[in-house]
Amino acid sequence: MSKQLRSRVVDLSTVPRHEKECFLDHLYRAHTKIFETTTREEFHDHIFRTNTAVARLLVLENTTGAVVGYTGFYARFVTVNGRAVAVVSIPMGIERAYRRQTQHGLFLAQEGLRFFASYPRANAYLFNAIVHPSSYLSMCRNLAQTYPHRLRESVSETEELFIGIADALTLRRKTDAKSALVRSVGGITRQTDSEKMYWRTHIDPDVRFFIENNPTYEQGEGLLVGCPLTAANLLRSIARFTNHRMSKLLESAFVAKR
């Protein structure tokens, strides 16, 4: 049976001070069902980020009004090697029972277009420290020019840029990691034993690539992943997402008729 969701978009810069704690309580309650180890103070800083040019959140609620997930769109300008870079990050989490009902695709497309309307000349990158293979797989499927990627050669300039961005965002390096692209994030995705085994034995080459490059992801380590956020790239990504979504809907309709 499909679980109904409703959504609302919150501009975090406009949340009144006296409402912040209550708002955060509802989000954190859902967050702790999705991730381990994050304290409420850490989550506060994760949601209400400082020095952001854009900070908007898609909040997902079930029919009782309880928050069951969220997707964020944050943009922040940092300086890397003497040049300004707009860093767009998309944190997200949704409770297991509702993961097939997500509505973040349209939200992200709208926010991406809104960002380009406001900052048409920005040197922008979509950038995340990814802590789970499912997120990396989704990024590879829906975004053009994802890096690092098994089909793209290692590019030292891109890696240096990503390392510079991570350092500017104070993402802590792992001294024992084989790559500077692996950082300590702290949020460990809650998984059952069967889910852990499913991903460890997954045969998709993109999943295998992620696990090979971030074998300690179950300990809260994130692989730095990004792509150039240009208007053309965004439109290609919207087309990819739409095509993938339509394929899934047609597949579901076909199965239902059998």
Residue ending a domain, among 80, 97, 122, is 122
Residue ending a domain, among 63, 91, 122, is 122
Yes or no: say if 81 and 172 are a contact pair by the CB < 8 Å rule.
no
pLDDT < 50 regions, the chain: 1, 249, 254-255
CA–centroid distance for 34 within its chain: 14
- The domain total for the chain is 2
Q: What is the pLDDT of residue 1?
A: 42
Tell me which residue has tokens 């949704």.
94
Domain of 26, CATH number, reads 3.40.630.30
Residue 217 burial (C-beta neighbours within 10 Å; 0-12, 13-18, 19+): buried
Angle between helices 17-34 and 40-47 in degrees, nearest 10: 110
Tell me which residue has tokens 């300990």.
219
Q: What is the pLDDT of residue 85?
A: 96
Q: What is the pTM of this model?
A: 0.87
Q: What is the pLDDT of residue 258?
A: 56
Half-sphere exposure of 4 (CA within 13 A, CB side): 4
CA–centroid distance for 199 within its chain: 18
Q: Which helix (H) or strand (E) holds 38?
A: none
Yes or no: say if 43 and 57 are a contact pair by the CB < 8 Å rule.
no
Q: What is the pLDDT of residue 109?
A: 86
Dihedral (CA of 92, 94, 100, 104) sign: negative
Domain hosting 190: range is: 129-258
Do residues 15 and 102 both lie within one domain? Answer: yes
Q: What is the pLDDT of residue 186?
A: 77
Q: What is the pLDDT of residue 35?
A: 92
